[in-house]
Structure 1
């Protein structure tokens, strides 16, 4: 393994460690944010998520504008994409997230704290994602994508503005500034959030970690002979790759995603042990386990179809301002809302 690749893996591990610690201490999670906002009337977590998006966009677009990272090499800014598959994948992921009581990254964080329910979620999610990427479900996914994909004249908000005659640099600044200002105003307009320094710090740190991922893979890992895929925080495919690596490590090479997954678990575990938060938890009933596993399967399938999860699309994808990411996130938000409210609402279960 050459030096740039080693650097990327080490940096991915560090980024994961920080995310795991922050995630455990702050409860950073889109599903928890939506539940608190829609069901309990507590908007602090959703404001923390909004702040993280704002920071991620601002810093990622700064790196792109300075020529340090070519976001166009990421999976989010492809010339062709399937709107129906992205949206449907988002719906499945969002609803599955409610069934499992958290996304893949949250499951990793909770697993580090001793939550054995999350072990089932991680394993089932990994298997379902691998089946959708390369296994039994893959042919159906590929056929659906091929039948519905389109070649868009613009694949991001800045390029959409350039079709109106604006320059690329100006379009990037205008789009990023408008979204960042709106998100920051939304976050800090909430008095309870302004009085929550921990949530403010969590939003800023997670947003910076997204930009750090882009910098590590797109700049530090740049190598003409052995290029590293340009990516940042995302968890569905990396969790699937991590399980495969755990079983077949002699035939595989670790990458940024695998290192990040390992780092999140380790960071959460160390934080839980040092703060006295570690305690073992299990399922309250077979029905609880079945529902959780079903949600994990939906997240694995939907996350692959949507090209990411609530972090992979909700933060990392959105930070590129890709149109496909906004479509996937719309599906995730709608699926999550359906699981929390309305006729399809997932009824709460008692947890032992």
Structure 2
């Protein structure tokens, strides 16, 4: 337990910062895409792009100098299922629109007094646990086993090494190319350049992802009691948090549970301090049904995709894993389908 205490405390601090920043900035992939696709406001989506760039740059720096072995994470495995990752991303993205936000956003809004988010968090956690270990787990495992592929290159740098580049050069080239493209995309937008709050949010969240890798991959590197190498992600941690709240005897705290608690607490403290706390509820039974249905899709899809809009969209992409790009493509497509076109989710009045 002594070796895991610094990891748990650091996870709590990372969550506190994320919760505060998330509340003040509105950091959220769904909100970013909604503002961009339906309102023409591209500031939030640029903040998200900047967060990805910072997360990749900082995480690849830690991996390149040997501080953290990202190869021990769930994202850089030699075997993965392309159809399941993509389908999971689709389900998560569409569910995110139905619920008006992802799991991390629900935690942030819950801290602000949004009782709709309480339903989202509970349903998401139950659906995720069912998909991880419960009734849906056998179907998920069967789908993965029937479609998984073993690859010799599971990341962009390892793919480039097949062309004859050294590992160092491949990592630097892949990381620098993507980071440069994302930074140019973000800063090419004049309204974003005039939004210091959004710029700061993107930088801070990206650094939090790298901080999570450092905490679990370096501080938690104990030969006798190793900590799983991970960073910010919310699907499995929300499920674990619900289980821990109900059955804490015999269970142990971990980085993910501490992060979930930190996000809620950080948002709550910030909301109270800034006068933003106020109770909100559903406008109708239909609204509740749609929100709960979206949460279920996020829980199921997030487990299938090995992460959410944060767990894959930031943390997964920071490893440059090929599987993460596939999952994120599904998330983006599912979100776009919910916001535009024939499958568009019609807006409901919110009380």
Instruction: Please give the TM-score of this superposition, normalised by the length of structure 1.
Output: 1.00
Is 1:246 aligned to residue 251 of structure 2? no
**2:308 matched residue in structure 1:** 309
Is 1:292 aligned to residue 256 of structure 2? no
Distance 1:221 1:65 in 2: 18
SS at match of 1:39: helix
Distance 1:36 1:177 in 2: 28
**1:260 matched residue in structure 2:** 259
Is 1:325 aligned to residue 324 of structure 2? yes
Distance 2:146 2:194 in 1: 50
**1:187 matched residue in structure 2:** 186
Equivalent runs, 1:33-52 vs 2, <5 Å: 33-52=32-51
Dislocated runs of 4+, deviation >6 Å: none
Distance 2:228 2:102 in 1: 24
**1:344 matched residue in structure 2:** 343
Distance 1:154 1:34 in 2: 31
Deviations 1:318-338 (A, max 9, x none): 000000000000000000000
**1:58 matched residue in structure 2:** 57
SS at match of 1:251: coil
**1:217 matched residue in structure 2:** 216
Q: Alpha carbon RMSD of aligned pairs, Å? A: 0.3
**1:137 matched residue in structure 2:** 136
Q: Per-residue deviation at 1:251?
A: 1.5
Question: For structure 2, which runs of at least 5 residues remain unmatched after alignment?
Answer: none
**1:163 matched residue in structure 2:** 162
SS at match of 2:169: helix
Count of aligned residue pairs for this structure pair: 351
**2:151 matched residue in structure 1:** 152
Q: Per-residue deviation at 1:273?
A: 0.2
Deviations 1:275-313 (A, max 9, x none): 000000000000000000000000000000000000000
Distance 2:335 2:310 in 1: 14
Deviations 1:68-91 (A, max 9, x none): 000000000000000000000000
Distance 1:5 1:88 in 2: 35
Instruction: Please give the TM-score of this superposition, normalised by the length of structure 2.
Output: 1.00
Question: For structure 1, which runs of at least 5 residues remain unmatched after alignment?
Answer: none
Distance 2:338 2:251 in 1: 37
**1:198 matched residue in structure 2:** 197
